[in-house]
Amino acid sequence: MFRCDSIRPMRVILALLCALLSTVSLQAAKTLDIYFIDVEGGQSTLIVSPSGQSLLVDAGFPGFNGRDGDRILQTAKKAGVKQIDYFLATHYHLDHIGGVEQLADRMKIGTIITHGPNTETGKGAETMTKAYENALKTSGAQTLVVKPGDTIPLKGLDIKVVAGRGNQITAALPGAGKPNAACSGVAQKAADPTENARSIGFILTWGKFRFIDLADLTHNKELELACPNNLLGEVDLYLTNHHGLDSSNAAPLVHGLKPRVAVMNNGARKGGSPEAIKTVRNSPGLEDLWMIHYSIAAGKEGNVPDSFIANIDENDEGFGIKISAEQNGTMVVTNQRNKFSKTYAKK
């Protein structure tokens, strides 16, 4: 005999099943979001993992009435980020770590990551070291020193350090290590004694999606990663080195990475050199180069189409570029100036 009280347990089961399916659907819909913030030719990149944790790479310049600190804060609010879980100071230069005190005044920082003490000396180096120490004191953050081969512990992502303090990984990453034909005829340049060559560089992997940021790593250090064998493999997204200067972005590295999309964090009058733009645009498999600023040095012929440039005029109000990536390698890139978006399907 059918009993009416048997309906209630069935309803409970169905409700639980629907709740479970909704949760799975929401988790599947989450993306990895990367915000390239306009700090006028410096670097500041906010990475928000699908788990909601945040990694901020560098903090732009000091001064300018708190401009870069404000832009980072505004971006964090848009991203739904209330604190910076990890702050990575790639190296001790004004355009990368100069804004760290502004950052500490505006947001809570959980852990500050460096390659160790500043390797430069002199008044400028002392100023940068002091800025870092002041930010550390203000924030009460923990510290983490990393070296090539280490992992940055952002939940749900594999972030492998491949360069730091003048050293590079010596063994190929999984799936990499093939001979690099682009190395033929490319020679090293004069040694770079600055913090640029000591930059922390990393590759972020989430499923099939790979993103590389080597900060301001210069020519010789790039070749150590790319020649004679490509130790890094291929990537989906490449943040051009050193703001798009031709003292970096060596063809063997860029062409070996074979990025599908590249972003250049140049300023109107800083970085964005014609030769570096050409090298990136000629990389095998590149679909598009996006730029934070129109490069005055490159001129109309050297720049990409306006739709792919976040700031056309030299005095634009700090527009950035956002990438939303999925585990299968699909990317959606959005220009915050004109809301132009383009989807790059998985390979």
Cα separation of the two ends of the chain: 57
pLDDT at 317: 83
Bridge partners of 167, per DSSP, are 164
Is residue 17 in a domain? Answer: no
The answer to whether residues 346 and 208 touch, using CB atoms and an 8 Å cutoff, is yes
Residue 145: which residues within 8 A CB-CB, separation 6 or more? 113, 114, 115, 116
Q: Is residue 196 part of a domain?
A: yes
Average pLDDT, the chain: 93
pLDDT at position 316 is 79
Does residue 26 fall inside a structural domain?
A: no
3-state per-residue secondary structure call for 31-88: CEEEEECCCCCCCCEEEECCCCCEEEECCCCCCHHHHHHHHHHHHHHHCCCCEEEEEE
CB 266 within 8 A of CB 272: yes
Residue 326 covered by a domain: yes
Sign of CA dihedral 114, 99, 266, 157: positive
Residue 15 has pLDDT above 70, yes or no: no
- Model pLDDT, residue 26: 39
Asked if residue 38 has pLDDT above 80, the reply is: yes
- Residue 151 in any domain: the answer is yes
Q: For residue 291, give the DSSP letter.
A: E
| 1 domain residue, yes or no | no
DSSP for 96-109, please give it: HHTTHHHHHHHSEE
3-class DSSP state for residue 146? coil
Percent of the residues in the chain that have a pLDDT greater than 90, as a whole number: 90
pLDDT confidence of residue 4: 47
- pLDDT the model gives residue 20: 47
Q: Of the given ranges (17-26, 77-86, 208-217, 299-308), which has the lowest mean pLDDT?
A: 17-26
277 inside domain: yes
Identify the CATH number of the domain in which residue 106 sits: 3.60.15.10
Count of domains in the chain?
Answer: 1
Q: Name the token pair of 160.
A: 């492998």
Domain carrying residue 244: 31-340
Q: Let me know if residue 16 belongs to a domain.
A: no
Calculate mean pLDDT across residues 58-66.
97
Residue partners of 316: CB distance under 8 A and separation at least 6: 38, 293, 310, 337
pTM, entire model: 0.91
